[in-house]
Structure 1
Amino acid sequence: MPSQVRVSPSLSLTNFWWLLPGLGLVVLMTGAVVRSLAESGWANGLSLLPVVAGMAFVVGLVLALWQRLSNWAVHAVALVVGWVWIVQQVGPLLDERLVSWRDRAVELTIRLISWGRVLASGGRGEDIVLFVVVLALLCWWLMYLTVWAVVRQQCLWLMIIANGVVFFVNYTYVLPKPDLEAIVFIIGSLLLIVYHHVMQHRAVWEAQQISYPDLLPLQAMWSAAVVGVVLIAGTAVLPAQIPPDQANQTWEMIRAPFRAVRAAWEDAFSTINAPPGAGSVSFTARVAPLGGSRLAGFDEVMTVRSTQLEYWQAVAFDRYDGTGWVNTTGELARAALQVATAEQARTPLAAGETIPLTDRRLRRVITQTITLAQERNDDLLLVGGSPLQFSVPARLEHMIVRDENGGVVPLYDDLTLATSTIPLVAGTTYTVTALVSLADVQSLRMAGTDYPQWVRERYLQLPANLPARVRAEASRVIAAANAENPYDQAIAIQEYLRRLTYTEDIPPPPTNVDLVDWFLFEQRSGYCDYFASAMVVMLRSVGVPARWVRGYASGEFDPEQGVYVVRENVAHSWPEVYFPGIGWERFEPTAASYTSEPQRPLQSVFGAEAEEEWGGTSSAVPNPGRFEDLEDDGLTASGVSSGAATTPESAQRRTIAGDGVRNWLLMILGVLALVGSLITGLRWWLAREVRGLRLAAAAYTEMSWLAYFSGLGQQSWETPSEYAQRLARILPEHASTIHGIAAAYVTERYRRGVGSYLPPETARRSLHRALWQYALRQAFARLWSPVGSR
């Protein structure tokens, strides 16, 4: 029975035909992984990955069949060939002046060395070509080593796991999901496991001169395919969601290492693109490139209970590089505090603790209650306005400046993002006490231009190679509107941009051009990312500080629940302009159906007493409890006393009471269906395996396979008689049947011409049932035995 016997491949025609099914399954499985990466849209140039993998398949097959070199020498040859081929394929992504292979190889080597030094010093890589090179190397080794494992029958499980990890990590973060590739990958990997198992048995049978059907691999894979389809169909009836908190804790434990890897990956390649639609799910990437068409889903993200319509801010970006936006706040804070990562530089904030903001003039305090409809993988806390308090413990990413004595001072007015320190799973409710703007037009016009130093240093930045016509166009628009102060200048540019066409279906932007310039003068249409970027860049070009912000538009108001329903299709970006003493103010240059311009009164609605109350610099938070309609959800008006995210208890009771019985019934039916399908499939497989064999050989094969599934497989050193003696000791009530089958098999195989006596069919079926029962008892014993006793 099964044994770890390895096949020594050769170039014989027989062995080559035996290898063909396995090679086809490698193309199916690893090809699905490569295609999912090539279609992910993480960066331009990934279309070369299938070409790299195709060459790796050929090289892997040739080197695996060539046995004149040691394994390490062969792998070294594969590494050299892979590097040569990848350099050749990456050539079009490099400078066109690098015409020879040698020039391209030297260029990539220098970039790799520089990239390694940047990462070693705690910096972040921004070379997108190296990202393509790393993925190409990954695809090369996946394909090459998988072919090697199949041909040489070595470490196949390890390669299936490696392919699976790469595929499902990519599947977790890419949008839209490569569902077709996922199905192909699962089918290919399952069949490859069966193929490898059969090939191991084939080696044992040939070594022991045991006959077997000629088309055994194909028959086994066909049977496995049928069983796999039945299993997949059975799992479809299982419940999609399990409400208990233990499931959430388990999921958090499982995804923790993936989140750590993602953070390291984003540091290593900070300029990778977010695939279409990915922006509506996660905003934590420090780089936001301007890309092609946008594809957003319609799933509900959250609901917000608030007395004032706002945009729900996630992350603010400060640096524009001509191709997109970079959030440098975390990296600057990391360098100032001299810690290892940007995440470690974030300031912890206890639940209910107040953020000491200084820009509080012309603002009022309100409480926003947010209930998540889906898990936030990025753990971002969204807020309308400037946050003062969270009802959950948080970590804040903000600027760190130095005082006159060289000490570090936190600057909370330059807050980039806030993340929760506890998981934000679906159903979580948290509250935010926030400062929202009530600034009037007159006050904004009179705010002046006495900007703080941190504003001038960070929010007037523009790339040195910004085309001159962008600056000229901004000046022209402002001059035509006769705008003399920053507020009127912002309004003039906003109205200019709102006359351009909004569309989410645009071609991929060209390379080696400034994308704001391309949007303004060539494309002339686009979506929010381009409109907001153009406004920020044009304002900065005339000396008005502005920043680029990502989050969600206000959403649809549900009058029955009294909440704003926010969906993925309102994932949005917009500009914010800084006004001295007042802070950041939102503008809206995107004329889309889901956007709204801020409504500001012409003159101040505050009296002198009110302005002193709301605009003072004291850190005390005015009591927002006078907004009575926020108390309907059963939370306190401030919403900061609980100290933890909560799922409403009544909602949990309704979920468990309404769905618990149905979920358990579906689970039980699904398990029974799976067990029944598995047994039926195995019985059908055994019937096919013994077809064409003599009676005694068929009976012995059936007994051996059933015993193998019971954990009683025949060892390679056991004769049929010795094997029967061992089985008889375990199942003494069937000893005569077991010895009879073994004796008949030996007589039929080795004593040709002599009749053999086979026990009756009723006795053999009784033995089969006993073996099934023994297998079930052993499975349950292992399942229920204490961990330490296994």
Structure 2
Amino acid sequence: MATLVSTNPTRWQRLLGVWHNYFLPGDVTTLFMALVVVLLPVFSLSAAGWDVQMETLVPVALLSVVLGFVLARSQYSELFGLLISTIYGGCAILLIAALRHPDGIGAGIYNVFSSLFLWLEAALGDGLNQDPLVFTLLISGLFWLLGHNLAWHLFRIDRVWRALLPIALVLITNSVYYTGAANLDIYLIAFTFLALLLIIRSNLDAREWDWYVNGIRIPRRLRRHFYRIGGLLALIVLLVAWTIPMNDIQDRLNRFQEFLQSDPLVELSELWNRLIFSPETRGPTTSDYYGGDSLQLSGAIRLGDEVVFLVDAPPERRYYWRSRVFTNYNSGQGSWTSSATHVLRDPQPPLEIAQEPLVPGARVAVEQQFTMGLNASRLVYTAPQPLRVELATRANLSYADIDDPASPMFVSVVRPMEVLYEGDTYDAVSWMSAATAQQLRAAGTNYPQWVRDTYRQIYPTPLRVLQLAQQIVRDAGAATPYDQAVAVESWLRTNIEYNEVIPSPPMGQDPVEWFLFDLRQGYCNYYASAMVLMLRSLDIPARMAAGFAQGEWNAAENAFVVRERDAHTWVEVYFPGYGWVEFEPTAAQAPINRGDQPIPVAQQPPTQPPPTPTPLPTLTPTPSPSPTPEPPPDNPTDEAVTEPQAEPPTVTPTFTPSPTATPVIVPTQPPPIRPEPRDPFAFILPALGMALVGVFLIVLLLVALLFIYWWWEWRGMRTLSPISRAYARLERYLGLIGLRMASVHTPDERRDRIVRELPVADRPVTAITGLYTNERYGPPRPLRHKRAERAWSDARLTILGRFLRRTLMPWRRRRGTTQ
């Protein structure tokens, strides 16, 4: 009697069958190498100092390769596989980023979307937003696509170069731009070694197929021997390549940097620097301080100790090293922009800047020589006001008379034609102010028309700022523009505390108003902005200048050493006949002494006492002591203002370096602040923006759905009859579930195969096939169109149901007859 043996496979046999369906010989080794290859640029970015969250980026990169491998082993087309991977990738990135939030996944999802909205708002406007979460999300999306591309081209179509080149581009770009101390070569070497192994694997697979077709037996350990020999050859190739001379590599990099100086790439660089925190890099992300076309009043700052440049200049003067000038203030966004109207390209040095006629002796020419300490710079620094620069340059400027190019020039920013590298030098001559306080008091208010048109224009000033400026000058008894400027300068230095660790300004409130009345703390950008706005509200022409304070005098170098922590903004005020004169409202900097007597400092208006901030630890060195101003008398007069003191200060300032902000580590908890209560309706504008974004996304989704419907249901079928259209749609949709019909099959043969694969679609498929056969080969029969449409609706639902199950669970493959 024959023994009956069960043919049902065990669980382990089924798992082994699934393993063999997915993993071909050598796939495990290749998958491991693919995972390492996609992680190399991730760790390279982290080593270069990019502000990415590795807890999010590493899982995303690994999952992208794994899902790409699963999709590569499926029956989906390349386009459809990419669509599925993109959907899964977006969900995976969102969930992984949200899971890191300490308050749970719900708060994490809300935080992700709110951060994206604020970043998009800054990107579409002139705002500054360098949120590391948003940058991590963008980089995660990039690496998801890189991982999918890598797995698809390795395991599906075996195009190894298409798989490796995008990742190589990321690695090389990061290495070329990086200028820090970390060694990124190890990542390039490891990538090159693995890339060579993957190329060996691709060629071995092609040879094995040829041997199989020709009936040649393949030894079992052939692949292992190939990898051993290939790895040894790859190491030899790397060693030989490492010893090849690269004498002209720096010249090529320099030419590449010159290419990056084109205007479109400079604009792209400025947009990048507004929205992305850049590490020690050059090219589009060169560390140019205040190099962008706009300056945003934002939150806490962190400045390092890196040497930016050295300046050989006469040490007996007080200096600023200016990079650019900001003219226009947007109170709604809290940002400054330039008013330059022309770009002057001067490929032949020197750049000569025409100056306006001034009072004899009002200014003196001062020579300087700059030696760059940065790895790369795209800005030219000079003492105010630049007269000549010994470089080929590109300057953004405006003319006093726009119709006369020979009229005086007013420079906003000067850029070199070629990137300035570490150790490069250039000479400059500046037209520096030598005016005394008495001369500036007597300058008057006969401003040129170009000054009236440009530097007294302000956007609507908050009422409290205007009232504060008027009360300061009234309490100080300041009658002339100079005395009024000194009064505002002294009030800011006395009443506002210097602090680099402040929160970002609240939405819906002007940052300067918030700085003056609510926070009462800040750093140079806020001090200078407040002074410019208050002076302009008093009809005094003023603008913001940005660059660096003078730094520290180094006797050994015989030069001023200017470091990153010296980055600074200050105020320039215009006086007829004397030009632009510098003022220093920032409390952390030493005051500018022109030999004048101190103007009494107005105290806080009693009618609107702001909340007193909690005292904070001193963040900067104490400024040099200056005479303490006395409170004003009840009825101040000019005699009281100009009354001589016992020990008047000297006219010429010493070259003692001005104290600057010491770099600090931002604490985990912000300092205690009691801001003014928020407007209860302040949420309306952000909510309206979110609603508009939501409506746009919904409309975009509807358009995409309509396009997909047309693509599958009507593309190329408008001229067909309803029955023929239903039959054509049936064949088109079958591709979604992996059914491909041969052209030699009859309609009945196709129907039989569909029913075998998809039994639940028997009735609608049989109806459509019968109607099509009768229409094609039989006599005309009326009133069959509605039946065909109903049958197609049922068949479509069945096919799409199978498609969704295959899509959401691609690891499940059909085994035997479908139930």
- Common fold: TM-score over 0.5: yes
Give the match for residue 459 of structure 1: 455
One-letter amino acid of the counterpart of residue 328, structure 1: S
Query: CA distance change for structure 1 residues 186 and 584 in 2, over 3 Å: closer, same or farther?
Result: same
CA distance in 1, matches of 2:487, 2:176: 42
* Rounded Cα–Cα distance in structure 2 between residues aligned with 1:221 and 1:538: 73
Q: Is 1:319 equivalent to 2:321 in the alignment? A: no
When residues 188 and 354 of structure 1 are mapped into structure 2, their CA distance, relative to the original with a 3 A threshold, is closer
Partner of 1:65: 73
Deviation at residue 371 of structure 1 after TM alignment: 3.6
The question of 1:256 aligning with 2:258 is answered: yes
For residues 292-351 of structure 1, give each alpha carbon's deviation from its aligned partner in whole angstroms, at most 9, with x where no partner exists.
Answer: 332223325123223633211111122333555444345x43xxxxxxxxxxx3243753
Structure 1: distance between partners of 2:151 and 2:471: 63
Give the 3-state SS of the residue equivalent to 1:491 in structure 2: helix
CA distance in 2, matches of 1:52, 1:456: 57
**How far apart, CA to CA, are the structure 2 residues paired with 1:171 and 1:527?**
34
Give distance in 1, aligned partners of 2:239 and 2:473: 68
- The Cα shift of 1:256 comes to 2.7
Deviation at 1:516, TM superposition (A): 3.2
**Equivalent-residue separation in structure 2 for 1:512 and 1:174 (angstroms):** 38
Q: Does 1:536 align with 2:532?
A: yes
| Alignment check: 8 A CA contact 2:358 2:579 kept | yes
Stretch deviating more after TM superposition (364-373 or 26-35): 26-35
Q: Distance in 2 between matches of 1:324 and 1:172?
A: 35
Paired amino acid for 2:485? A
Deviations 1:746-771 (A, max 9, x none): xxxxxxxxxxxxxxxxxxxxxxxxxx
In 2 relative to 1, CA 263–300 (structure 1 residues): closer, same or farther, beyond 3 Å? Answer: closer
> One-letter code of the match for 1:557?
W
Structure 1: gaps of 5 or more residues: 1-7, 92-99, 119-123, 334-344, 604-790
Deviation at 1:263, TM superposition (A): 1.5
How far has the Cα of 1:264 moved from its partner? 4.5
2:32 paired with 1:21: yes
The structural deviation recorded for 1:438 is 0.9
Matched letter for residue 432 of structure 1: A
Other-structure match for 2:411: 415
Q: Is the 8 A contact 1:191 1:224 kept in 2?
A: no
Q: CA separation in 2, counterparts of 1:388 and 1:85?
A: 57
Matches within 5 A, 1:35-54: 39-40=50-51
For 1:773, the equivalent position in structure 2 comes to none
Deviation at 1:398, TM superposition (A): 0.5
Q: CA-to-partner distance for each residue in 1:398-433, whole Å, 9 max, x for gaps?
A: 015776xxx465764421122333553444333222
Distance 1:460 1:247, change over 3 A: farther
Q: 1:348 aligns with which of 346, 349, 362?
A: 346
Matched letter for residue 268 of structure 2: W
Q: What is the 5 A alignment of 1:94-243? A: 138-152=142-156, 154-157=158-161, 160-166=164-170, 169=173, 179=182, 182=184, 185-186=187-188, 189-190=191-192, 192-200=194-202, 202-203=204-205, 206-207=208-209, 208=211, 209-212=218-221
Following superposition, the deviation at residue 216 of structure 1 comes to 7.4
- Counterpart for residue 356 of structure 2: 358
CA offsets 1:624-682 (integer angstroms, 9 cap, x no match): xxxxxxxxxxxxxxxxxxxxxxxxxxxxxxxxxxxxxxxxxxxxxxxxxxxxxxxxxxx
| Per-residue deviation, residues 112-161 of structure 1 (Å, max 9, x unmatched) | 9x99xx9xxxxx98797999697665444334323434444755545544
- Does the 8 Å CA contact 1:365/1:433 hold for their aligned counterparts? no
> For 1:491-522, what per-residue CA distance to the aligned partner results, in whole angstroms no more than 9, with x for missing partners?
23322332434344445666565433444445
Matched, 1:372 2:371: yes
Distance in 2, matches of 1:213 and 1:299, equals 58
SS of the residue 2:146 aligns to: helix
By percentage of residues, which structure has more helix?
1
What is the root-mean-square deviation in Å for CA atoms of aligned residues? 5.1
Conservation of the 8 A alpha-carbon contact between 2:38 and 2:61: no
The structure-2 alpha-carbon separation of the partners of 1:353 and 1:205, relative to structure 1 and needing over 3 Å to count, comes to closer
Question: For 1:495, which of 490, 501, 516 is the aligned residue?
Answer: 490
The question of 1:481 aligning with 2:476 is answered yes
SS of 2:376's partner is coil
Counterparts in 2 of 1:507 and 1:178: CA distance versus 1, 3 Å: farther
- Provide the C-alpha distance between the structure 2 equivalents of 1:167 and 1:156, rounded to a whole number of angstroms: 17
Report if aligned partners of 1:284, 1:378 keep a CA contact under 8 Å in 2: no
Preserved CA contact (<8 Å) 1:329 1:399: yes
1:11 matches 2:25: no
Query: In structure 2, how many angstroms separate the alpha carbons of the residues matched to 1:560 and 1:10?
Result: 74
Deviations 1:214-271 (A, max 9, x none): 8779979998999999999x99xx99xx9x9x77644321323344474142366674
Q: Is the 8 A contact 1:319 1:327 kept in 2?
A: yes
- Greater CA radius of gyration, 1 or 2? 2
2:593 to 581, 599, 602: 599
Q: Distance in 1 between matches of 2:445 and 2:96?
A: 52
User: Equivalent residue for 1:433?
Assistant: 429
Task: Judge conservation of contact 2:545–2:569 (CA < 8 Å) in 1.
Answer: yes
Do the aligned partners of residues 40 and 601 (structure 1) sit closer, same or farther apart at CA in structure 2, a change above 3 Å counting? same
Change in Cα spacing, 1:380 to 1:65, as seen in structure 2 (3 Å) is: same
- Give the Cα–Cα distance (whole angstroms) in 1 for the partners of residues 159 and 229 of structure 2: 21
Residue 55 of structure 1 deviates from its aligned partner by 6.8
Count of residues in Structure 1 that have an aligned counterpart in Structure 2: 545
Q: CA deviation at 1:291?
A: 4.3
SS at match of 2:574: strand
What's the CA shift string for 1:133-191, capped at 9, x where partnerless? 9766544433432343444475554554434544565677689x5948x4784465245
1:435 to partner: Cα distance: 0.9
1:28-80 CA distance string (max 9 Å, x none)? 12433675899449xxx9998778767755653443332x2332443355556
Gaps of 5+ in 2: 1-18, 99-108, 212-217, 598-819
Among the aligned pairs, what percent are the same residue?
25
Measure, in 1, the Cα distance between the counterparts of 2:561 and 2:187.
37
Residues 371 and 430 in structure 1, CA contact (< 8 A), matched pair in contact too: yes
Task: Give the partner amino acid of 2:300.
Answer: G
Q: Counterpart of 1:25 in structure 2: which amino acid?
A: V
Does structure 1 residue 272 correspond to structure 2 residue 281? no
* Equivalent pair of 2:309/2:562 in contact (CA under 8 Å): yes
SS of the counterpart of 1:589?
coil
2:580 alignment counterpart: 584
For the Cα contact (< 8 Å) 1:281–1:376, is it kept in 2?
no
Amino acid in structure 1 at the alignment position of 2:549: A
2:551 counterpart of 1:555: yes
Q: If the length of structure 2 is used for normalisation, what is the TM-score?
A: 0.55
Query: In structure 1, how many angstroms separate the alpha carbons of the residues matched to 2:309 and 2:20?
Result: 55
2: CA distance, partners of 1:537 / 1:326:
11
1:576-603, Cα deviation, whole Å (9 max, x unpaired): 22223322211112233xx443221349
Cα distance in 1 for residues equivalent to 2:511 and 2:414? 29
Aligned to 2:730: none
